[in-house]
Structure 1
Amino acid sequence: QDMGGLCTCCRPQLPKDTSIKHHGNAMLEAVPVNHIPIVSSTIDINTATEEDLMTLPTVGRVVAHNIVEYRRKIGGFRKVEDLVLVNGIGAGKLGKMRKEIHVSESWNKLFGMQSLPSRVNINTAAAETICNISELSEDTAAKIIEYRAKNGPFHHINDLVEPANIIDITTLLRIKSKIATSDILSHSRQPSAASERCRNGSANNFPGFGPECIPSNRPKTLIPSAVYEGRPVVRIATWNLQQCSLDKAKNPGIKEVVCMTILENGIKILAVQELADKDALDEFVNELNNPTLPNIERLRPYSTWKSSVSSTAAGKMYQGSEYSGFLWDNSVVDLYSSALLEKTKEQKEFTRRPFLGYFKVCKVDLILVNLHMKAVGHFAFDHDMKRLGEEIKKLPEVLEALHERVPEEKDVFILGDFNLDPDAEDFDVLRKRKYRSLVPASVPTNISRKNMKGSRCYDNIWVSQSAAALYTSKWQVVRNGLTNPWIPDGWSWGGVASDHCPVWCQVFVDQD
């Protein structure tokens, strides 16, 4: 807890009034129940100051400030569960403070019963009226009028984002309470059915708060065929999911991006790095097997998905543990075994131990080596680069260990986050053993909202000489569909699921 914070015991408690005990019955008879003022010792999160909030368990100055700022942006919390969207609070922290907070009944009535301000009808309003909305410029107003003249009326306010492409998601979130597409909605004193669904949740199990009132639009894609040049194929992929805790995996935006990326790209085996919780991967498996989100329901896979996560941590990650895992379509793929690479006394430990998976896909046996190499920091660049180089030079030891376990198996894929582009001399140890990388150094694999095109080639797939014979020459760094309006992006929304893009390659599986 931050310096200057208050402990829970410092919170004022209700004074005991012994007179109530002696004259309780008379008081209840004299005063109607609905007129008895209810005073609570719990904190109302809609009126609490930062200092009040700092008396809660696990809440320091920074988190308290985040709560107040987020409350200001959304106009108030409708229920205590809304706190999970605040930066620095997950399900775990909310559970610890849940009994000590509340949202007052009067505040809930305010949401449900107050008269709504008049909204601007974007289908009929003049440019001058649209410009009265502070977030919209004259140029934006002109584009709105031009678009509706050419294409007809807007059917939903979300049309301003897609397909009109006039404003972005962040702007829509700020103005959605100020605009409408009909005069009925513009002056209604009752909440619309749409707003009720947003507030209370829908049949699709959407939590009723924040940006989830905005539907998620996926890029138009064709599901790839399982046959290429007349032969059966599968796609193998790697994805660093960037500190993927259980809380993160439960975010519907993260869940949709991960699952839809798998389905849209026809990925059958996915190697995952940076799992902060062993159970995080189960969230994606459950969603693939029993979809709850509309887009995934639409592409409902007629197969069973399974996962395997390292039994112990592969290494450390930001003062926590990091696990590695595999996720696969069990209707096509079977897992023989998976395990972390065992360390001998003579070997120096990897920063994160390789996670090995031995799979059978149709008629082909494959070995996947799931890697997350040493990251290079700004403050210890030279030291980290030296350590990374040492790790890469130890990769032949991994290959030797594989040969001892399954001497007959030659189809090996080394894939993951290498934190270094493939042209580096350090990888000569793999090239000398006839391994080749599939992603060129000129193709970035990182991504952010500030730079959607990326700048560094960190993630890759290296294939053995034998595995190269199965390779169809098709690979891709997936860059589309990695953002979602339900994923936080600092104080805004529409963030990326990870700062890494998934990378896949396609292989024939009809002959070993």
Structure 2
Amino acid sequence: MRYIILFFILFSSLFPENTVLIASFNTLRLGKNKKDYYQVSKVLSKFDLVGLQEVMNENGLKILKGNLEKITGKKWEYHISEKPAGSGEYKEYFAYIWQKEKVSLKEPAGYYQEEKPSDFEREPYGVWFKAGEFDFVYVLAHSVYGKKERERILEASRYILVYNFFRKMVPLEKDVIIAGDFNLPANNRGFRKLTVHPEQIEYVLNPDEDLTTLGKKSLVNSYDNFFISRKHTKEFTGRYGVYNYIKIIMKR
């Protein structure tokens, strides 16, 4: 059984003036499950832009925004996908929350348009952001968990379609970042089509070292990650890590 509680992926992008910290976080049913929103907001306040998975309604985002503004003394904003993604009774939204002094929303790119209705359990969702002189499309994903690993591997093999879709949607914007909960380590063979892409798409965290999911006693797997193009996203400083309540691990 998985317990995803307040563990973040850290992505840094360097500008002439400053550094912007981008994170991804599976919120474990934000807006529905009972949470200490103040403590969650204290962790979120350490980042400039956070992509959120498992958002159940907008109410949780409103509470986060209010707490973040109290904690930081700065203005924050959020965006939630126009509709929930999923099948059957369980569906969830994708959302983003950011500090307005550091990041601005240019335009929602929307959901990935599937070639087949069964390509993804939850279609990835993207938004076009700007931070300083850096424009980028930030795509969030929450892959199927599935009782059989084969289902997860098949979805992983389709993220190359997601990357190509958002690259073509915003043709002048070559910086496409895909992040989220993939329910597989990034070095799984399912991602091979993505990582052999001519635009040099690589995962950021090391799946053998950077565990991101909280189990009963410790961190237990590396299902969460970022995929970026080393060819185009040259603003990436190479600094990354997993944020833990108790300990912060930073790679330099």
Asked if residue 461 in structure 1 is aligned to residue 226 in structure 2, the reply is yes
Asked if residue 362 in structure 1 is aligned to residue 142 in structure 2, the reply is no
Give the corresponding residue for 1:232.
18
SS where residue 374 of structure 1 aligns? coil
Distance 1:228 1:351, change over 3 A: closer
Q: Which runs of 5+ in 2 are unaligned?
A: 1-11
Asked if residue 410 in structure 1 is aligned to residue 174 in structure 2, the reply is yes
Off by >6 Å, runs of 4+ in structure 1: 226-230, 502-506
Give the corresponding residue for 1:439.
205
Decide whether the 8 Å contact of 1:241 with 1:273 is kept in 2: yes
- For 2:207 and 2:132, the matched residues in 1 are separated by 32
Decide whether the 8 Å contact of 1:343 with 1:349 is kept in 2: no
- For 1:437 and 1:503, the matched residues in 2 are separated by 17
Asked if residue 258 in structure 1 is aligned to residue 44 in structure 2, the reply is no
The Cα shift of 1:427 comes to 1.0
The Cα shift of 1:503 comes to 9.8
Asked if residue 421 in structure 1 is aligned to residue 185 in structure 2, the reply is yes
Give the corresponding residue for 2:104.
334
TM (norm. structure 1) is 0.43
Higher strand share: 2
1:101-250 to structure 2, matched below 5 A, reads 231-246=17-32, 248=34
Decide whether the 8 Å contact of 2:114 with 2:123 is kept in 1: no
**Per-residue CA shift, 1:391-447, capped at 9, x if unaligned?**
122112212221221111111111000111111111111111111111111221011
Give 1:306's match in structure 2, choosing from 77, 80, 95: 77
The Cα shift of 1:256 comes to 2.2
The Cα shift of 1:280 comes to 1.8
Asked if residue 480 in structure 1 is aligned to residue 251 in structure 2, the reply is no
Decide whether the 8 Å contact of 1:389 with 1:426 is kept in 2: yes
Decide whether the 8 Å contact of 1:235 with 1:269 is kept in 2: yes
Decide whether the 8 Å contact of 1:310 with 1:339 is kept in 2: no
- For 2:65 and 2:135, the matched residues in 1 are separated by 23
Decide whether the 8 Å contact of 1:237 with 1:504 is kept in 2: no
Give the corresponding residue for 2:8.
none
Distance 1:344 1:458, change over 3 A: closer
Decide whether the 8 Å contact of 1:367 with 1:412 is kept in 2: yes
**Per-residue CA shift, 1:206-253, capped at 9, x if unaligned?**
xxxxxxxxxxxxxxxxxxxx99797511000000011223453xx4x2
1:312-331 to structure 2, matched below 5 A, reads 312-316=83-87, 319-331=89-101
What amino acid sits opposite 1:233 in the alignment?
Answer: T
What amino acid sits opposite 1:393 in the alignment?
Answer: S
Distance 1:440 1:345, change over 3 A: closer
Decide whether the 8 Å contact of 2:15 with 2:132 is kept in 1: no
- For 1:411 and 1:370, the matched residues in 2 are separated by 14
Decide whether the 8 Å contact of 1:237 with 1:503 is kept in 2: no
Q: Which runs of 5+ in 1 are unaligned?
A: 1-225, 483-501, 507-512
Distance 1:232 1:344, change over 3 A: same
Higher helix share: 1
- Percent of counterpart pairs with the same letter? 22
1:76-87 to structure 2, matched below 5 A, reads none
Decide whether the 8 Å contact of 1:238 with 1:504 is kept in 2: no
Decide whether the 8 Å contact of 1:235 with 1:504 is kept in 2: no
What amino acid sits opposite 1:409 in the alignment?
Answer: E
Give the corresponding residue for 1:277.
57
**Per-residue CA shift, 1:63-91, capped at 9, x if unaligned?**
xxxxxxxxxxxxxxxxxxxxxxxxxxxxx
**Per-residue CA shift, 1:47-72, capped at 9, x if unaligned?**
xxxxxxxxxxxxxxxxxxxxxxxxxx
The Cα RMSD (Å) is: 2.8
Structure having greater relative contact order (Cα 8 Å, sep ≥ 6):
2
The Cα shift of 1:480 comes to 2.1
- For 2:13 and 2:118, the matched residues in 1 are separated by 43
- For 1:480 and 1:342, the matched residues in 2 are separated by 33
